Each structure stands twice: as structure tokens, then as C-alpha cells.
Structure 1
Amino acid sequence: MSHNRSYPWNPGWGEPTDPGRPGPDPRAGVPLDMVEMTSVEKAVSVLDSFRGELASLGVTEVAEANGLPKSTTYRLLSHLVASGMLERDGLKYRPSWQIFELAQSSILGRMDGPPALALPLMTELYVETRGVIHFGVRRGNEVMIAQKIYGLDSVAIPTRIGARLPITTTALGKALLAEQIRKEGRRAVPATPFPRLTRNSKVAPQLLVDQLARTSAMGYTVDLEETILGVSCVGAPVMRGQRPVGALSVSVRSHSFDEAKLSKRVVRYARLLSDMLVSAEEEEDDDAPPNP
């Protein structure tokens, strides 16, 4: 029920939709204090208010976002501060370092998981391209940024770890979608309206399918100023066996975009990461105790 925007650099895009998230709540629009909710549910909803581009919020902002009285909101915020989940910032509240630690544990997970293994390869890819390097995982009809590497000479892209972007406009998302289409056919194309983030965004399903068919057979996908004007991107899927577990991408200024050169590098590093995941899985199997 909080007002989180997953596409943080332009609030004018409005609220994203994600059929992969829980469906419509029959209680939607009803103030939380008017429905039967546990204190834990209310606290989680209050905590969820801090997602998005507004990191610090006041009591009134949180109360309005959740349909709660200020007194109830203040009590819940106080409990979250006492538990270490939030901290005071003058008259406002913000997520604590404890939240950051939990997020890092969730994103990185095991040290042999995709985001952790991707980091050194992303560094190598940055050194070769000087672009913005992302590793993302699919969440419904969006892709979530799990790792990001960039430098002072990279194009400015206001993404952040944890942000969600449309699967139909980004090279990361299209790399994952192309794998699903390859296995399931046209029915894998999202049925919901495609977001138009720029004038180049593919909002017609057939245009997107045609674009994916052109490049995905060579192991990569492109974002040609479909998410941010002036920025173009190449992405490739990261596989664990036959299953896509994420995608790797490099974004550069459109005037210096060399699809042939960048695609070779992204595909190479995505395949290296895929091989590393298989090796890590095999090592884990070797270390497992024998069945009695």
C-alpha cells in the first residue's frame, strides 16, 4: 500500500505495474486501521513506505501513504526505531544500517550465488568498456538491479541496487524475456500494457518480439534509448544449466554505442559467469556428504 516508484529517476512516469507481485487487495483504498490487520502487518506496511526515491519520511507522509492515523503511525515508527529497523533523522525517519545489512544478505546471499560471483566479472567488463555495468534478476514483469558498477567516465544512469525497471524496455529484462520466449513461445510475452518510458519504447508486443528475434539468436538483446534517451545498452542472459538466473548488461552513451563490439564482450562475460555457476554447483555436489 505504500507508494513506491521502481523507476526512480523520473517520477512523471507514474506507478509501475507488476503482475508478478501480489494481486489487487480487496481492502485497497480502505484505511489500514479500518480493516483487520495485525500489528506486524501494519509495521511491515509502514516499513515498506521507505522504498523508492524518498529515503527520509515524516509521520504525516507515512500516515497518508498507509491510510493510518498519525497516532498509530507514530507508535509504529517508534517501535521500528526501538527495534533498530529505522532511525530518526530530525523530524523524519529513514532506514537504518540494519536494513542495509539485511538487504545485502538478501542480494548477495551465498558467496557462490550469481550476484556475488558477478562482481569481479562486472569489474573486468567495466575496465574494457567504461560503461555502466548492471546485473539484474527477474521479478515478475520487472527486472531488479542486484549489482551495479560504474566510473567517473561512465554515462550518468540514476539506477541503484534494489531498483526495479520494466522487463520490456531494458536490455537486462529483454535478455531474460527472450529466454522465456525461446522456451514457451509467444505466450511468454507479458499481457499487460508495456510502459512507454521514452519515444523509442516498444509498446506493441509484435515490435518487441521482432526486435528480440533479431538479436537473441546471437545471445544478446539491446535497449536503444528505450529506457533513457541518450543511453543505449546490450544485455545477455546468465544461465545455470538451462535456466536463466539473471542477466548482465553494459550501458553507454548512444553516440559511442558499438553494438557488435559491446555484444561480444557482454555475451562472453555472461557465459563466463554461467560457467562459474555450474562449477560452483558441481563443487557443492562434491562436498555434499554421501547418502547413507
Structure 2
Amino acid sequence: MFEQLHTERGARAAATKVLAVLEAFGAYDGVVSLVELVRQIGLPRSTTHRMVGFLRSAGLVDMVDGRFFLTSRVAELSAAVPTEVPCGMREVLLPVLTDLYEATHEAVHLTVRCGDVARVAERVHGRRSAGLVSQFSGALPLHCTAAGKILLAGSEASRSGSLRLEAHTPVTITSGRRLAEELANVRRYCVAFDRGEWSSAITGVATPV
């Protein structure tokens, strides 16, 4: 019995330390050195390094040039969290989405920002675009989707410099300077475009609501 309690306490303590390391990434926009982690969470360097090792083995953290960063696996896990729009807001926006669909007969999405990704909170579509549902069911990158660019441009501090500008197609914006120019145009004209940047088979247009 004593050994079982000792094991359970040890497991809880280890889990608490791993969670502390994960939370510390938030203070550094998802990219952090081992020294910064030690300073942030107050654990010994050896313990912190071991906890980071657990996260790396789980595919949640990786390292480049001596700095650790959260992987897309974290975004995939966050996509499992239900995204809800308050009922009152949904009642106001759903007729607008429906009218837009009736006018265009294209899939219409209401998208919200969840950290460094975007997620579809509501959608209206017909049979022709039913195949898009699965593609838009998870986390969407901010830098190469129309809705993502709108959300980035509308943030008081877009922090686009901290995003990993991963190339999804040959025309994906992977330069911080180009993205900044793109977001400046989005703010100026209140419209954003995705011209095959996330998927070569998909184009999109977005505007804030």
C-alpha cells in the first residue's frame, strides 16, 4: 500500500512539473531556451531538462539552434477543444452566414482565433462544398488562410513574428516581411485572401465581422 501511494505521488509530482514546463512556453510565445525555462518555473536545470525530454519524446516539443518550441502536435490537441460561440452572438451571425451562402453558394465559415491557430466555430455549406468540412475541422494556420490573416491583422499585437511560417504550398508566405506587408493591406482594405497558400485546391476570402 505504501509503495502504491509513493508511486502515485511521484507520478503526480512528475505530471505537475511537465505541465509547469508546458505553461512556461506561453510566457515566451512558444519558443524558449533551457535557461529561460529554468528561470520561469524555478526547477533545477537537470529536472527541467528531463521534463523537456519527456515532452520531446511525446512529440509536443522540438529543438532548433538550442531553443525549444511547441510543435504542431500541440495545435492538433487544442483542436479537440470545442469552440463555441455565445448563443446570442450565434443568433445574430447565423442569418448573415446563411445570406452570404445563398448569395455565393460557396462554403461560409465563422472563424475564431485559438492561440496561434484559427478554428471554425460555425459553418454554412451545401453539398458541393461538403468535402471541405473535414479539411476545416481542425486547427488552421494563421499566416496562410484568409480567416487567419484577418485574425492576425485584427489583433492589437499580432505577434506574427513569433509564428512558424511553415510552407504548405509553393505560394505560402514564409517571409516575415512579406507577411507584415500582407497584414498591412488587410488592415487597409478590411479583406484578406488565400490564393492556394494553405492548399493548392482551395481559395478563400475573409472579412471581419
Assess, with a 3 A threshold, how the Cα gap between structure 1 residues 219 and 30 changes in structure 2: closer, same or farther: closer
Judge conservation of contact 1:148–1:160 (CA < 8 Å) in 2: no
Assess, with a 3 A threshold, how the Cα gap between structure 1 residues 230 and 215 changes in structure 2: closer, same or farther: same
Assess, with a 3 A threshold, how the Cα gap between structure 1 residues 122 and 188 changes in structure 2: closer, same or farther: same
Secondary structure in structure 1 of the residue aligned to 2:177 = helix
* Structure with the largest fraction of helix: 2
AA aligned to 1:237 is: P
Report what 1:212 is aligned to.
183
User: What's the % identity of the aligned pairs?
Assistant: 22
Quote the offset at 1:21 in angstroms: 7.3
Secondary structure in structure 2 of the residue aligned to 1:125 = helix
Aligned: 1:107 with 2:131: no
Report what 2:173 is aligned to.
202
* Count of aligned pairs: 150
What are the superposed Cα offsets for residues 176-228 of structure 1, whole Å, 9 maximum, x if unpaired? 11123xx55xx732323212111111000111122233343121111111111
Gaps of 5+ in 2: 1-14, 16-25, 42-47, 56-73
Gaps of 5+ in 1: 2-17, 32-47, 56-101, 239-292
Aligned: 1:190 with 2:161: yes
Aligned: 1:143 with 2:118: yes
* Of 170, 179, 182, the match for 2:145: 170
**Partner Cα distance (2:196, 2:130) in 1:** 13
- Listed as ranges, the matches of 1:1-292 within 5 Å are 26=48, 27-30=51-54, 103=82, 107-108=84-85, 110-113=86-89, 115-154=90-129, 156-157=131-132, 158-161=134-137, 163-180=138-155, 183-184=156-157, 188-238=159-209
AA aligned to 1:198 is: T
Secondary structure in structure 1 of the residue aligned to 2:206 = strand
AA aligned to 1:159 is: Q
Higher relative contact order (CA 8 A, sep 6+): 1
Quote the offset at 1:122 in angstroms: 1.0
**Partner Cα distance (1:149, 1:29) in 2:** 43
**Partner Cα distance (2:167, 2:207) in 1:** 22
Instruction: Give TM-score scaled by structure 2 length.
Output: 0.58
Judge conservation of contact 1:20–1:139 (CA < 8 Å) in 2: no
CA RMSD for the aligned pairs? 3.7
**Partner Cα distance (2:198, 2:190) in 1:** 21
Judge conservation of contact 1:167–1:173 (CA < 8 Å) in 2: yes
**Partner Cα distance (1:228, 1:214) in 2:** 22
Judge conservation of contact 1:21–1:140 (CA < 8 Å) in 2: no
AA aligned to 1:107 is: E
**Partner Cα distance (1:51, 1:214) in 2:** 32
Assess, with a 3 A threshold, how the Cα gap between structure 1 residues 168 and 123 changes in structure 2: closer, same or farther: same
**Partner Cα distance (1:136, 1:20) in 2:** 22
Judge conservation of contact 2:107–2:124 (CA < 8 Å) in 1: yes
Assess, with a 3 A threshold, how the Cα gap between structure 1 residues 128 and 166 changes in structure 2: closer, same or farther: same
**Partner Cα distance (1:159, 1:167) in 2:** 15
Assess, with a 3 A threshold, how the Cα gap between structure 1 residues 236 and 207 changes in structure 2: closer, same or farther: same
Assess, with a 3 A threshold, how the Cα gap between structure 1 residues 237 and 125 changes in structure 2: closer, same or farther: same
Judge conservation of contact 1:175–1:236 (CA < 8 Å) in 2: yes
Secondary structure in structure 1 of the residue aligned to 2:208 = strand
Secondary structure in structure 2 of the residue aligned to 1:217 = helix
**Partner Cα distance (2:131, 2:109) in 1:** 13
Instruction: Give TM-score scaled by structure 1 length.
Output: 0.43
